[in-house]
Amino acid sequence: MTLYHHPGGGWSVRLMRKMDLAPVQALFLDCLKEFDWRGPASEELVRLRRTFLASEQFVAVEPQAGIIGFITVEEQNAYIPHLFVEKDWRFAGVGRGLLKVAREACGRPLTLDVDRPNVAALKAYEAMGWKVSAPAGDTKRNQIRLVGP
Ligand SMILES: CC(C)(COP(=O)(O)OP(=O)(O)OC[C@H]1O[C@@H](n2cnc3c(N)ncnc32)[C@H](O)[C@@H]1OP(=O)(O)O)[C@@H](O)C(=O)NCCC(=O)NCCS
């Protein structure tokens, strides 16, 4: 079922299915190459798979390109462990669309932790009206906790 459709972009958001697992993981690993401050990708992948067991997941899909983004959502605490958009599809509203669906699923403002060196993501969240929340993030992991509108 389509939860959100971007009329101009031709892509939609729906619940993640089993068949999406491989492309979602591939997208995740590709994006992680930009996170040179993070540890081994294999550990991040284990963390992602663990999150799959305790969250809802939504994917953004474009008919030709396939999976172009995904989000994981812990609905009990309205927390977003992962939000990743394929490089070629950034600045096209995909992140905003995935967050909109997650926000609607939770019915209240979302929170997430963003790595301090992740300047691009910090700018994106600022543009979308997110604010720094108190208490501020997990300082051991060099993150800032943000709360959405
Ligand atoms: C952060 C991320 C999810 C944003 O996704 P996106 O699809 O490019 O975001 P959108 O196109 O929906 O943009 C939403 C707003 O943020 C702005 N924005 C997005 N990236 C930006 C950047 N690098 N610098 C400044 N503004 C940015 C957009 O211009 C837009 O604002 P506007 O509506 O006022 O024009 C994406 O860059 C990404 O996947 N990065 C790698 C993974 C990551 O860092 N995830 C976040 C972990 S917490």
Give 61-84 pLDDT, tens digit per residue: 999 999 999 999 999 999 999 999
Tell whether 142 is covered by a domain. no
**CA 121 to centroid of ligand 1, rounded, Å:** 6
**CA 93 to centroid of ligand 1, rounded, Å:** 8
User: What pLDDT, on the 0 to 100 scale, is given for residue 137?
Assistant: 52
The two three-digit tokens of residue 58, written as one number: 């939504």
Tell whether 101 is covered by a domain. yes
Tell whether 132 is covered by a domain. no
| DSSP-H helix ranges across the chain | 21-32, 41-53, 94-106, 119-127
CB 136 within 8 A of CB 145: yes
Rounded Cα–Cα distance for residues 34 and 20 (Å):
22
Tell whether 59 is covered by a domain. yes
pLDDT at 5 over 70: yes
Q: What is the mean pLDDT of residues 52-61?
A: 97
pLDDT at 38 over 80: yes
User: What pLDDT, on the 0 to 100 scale, is given for residue 142?
Assistant: 87
User: What pLDDT, on the 0 to 100 scale, is given for residue 136?
Assistant: 54
By the 10 Å C-beta count (0-12 exposed, 13-18 middle, 19+ buried), 114 is classed as buried
Tell whether 146 is covered by a domain. no
Q: Which atom of ligand 1 is found nearest the CA of 115?
A: 48
- pLDDT, one tens digit per residue, over 91-146 is 999 999 999 999 999 999 999 999 999 999 999 999 999 999 966 555 566 899 99
Domain count, the chain: 1
Q: What is the mean pLDDT of residues 34-41?
A: 93
State the residue for tokens 């699923």. 105
Q: Which atom of ligand 1 is found nearest the CA of 34?
A: 41
Query: Does ligand 1 lie within 6 Å of residue 120's CB atom?
Result: yes
19's enclosing H/E stretch is none
Number of other residues whose CB lies within 10 A of the CB of residue 121: 19
Range of the domain at 75: 2-108
Domain at 48, CATH number: 3.40.630.30
Tell whether 80 is covered by a domain. yes
Q: Which residues pair with 132 in a beta bridge?
A: 146
User: What pLDDT, on the 0 to 100 scale, is given for residue 140?
Assistant: 62
Tell whether 14 is covered by a domain. yes
Tell whether 83 is covered by a domain. yes
Nearest to 92 by CA among 1, 13, 2: 13
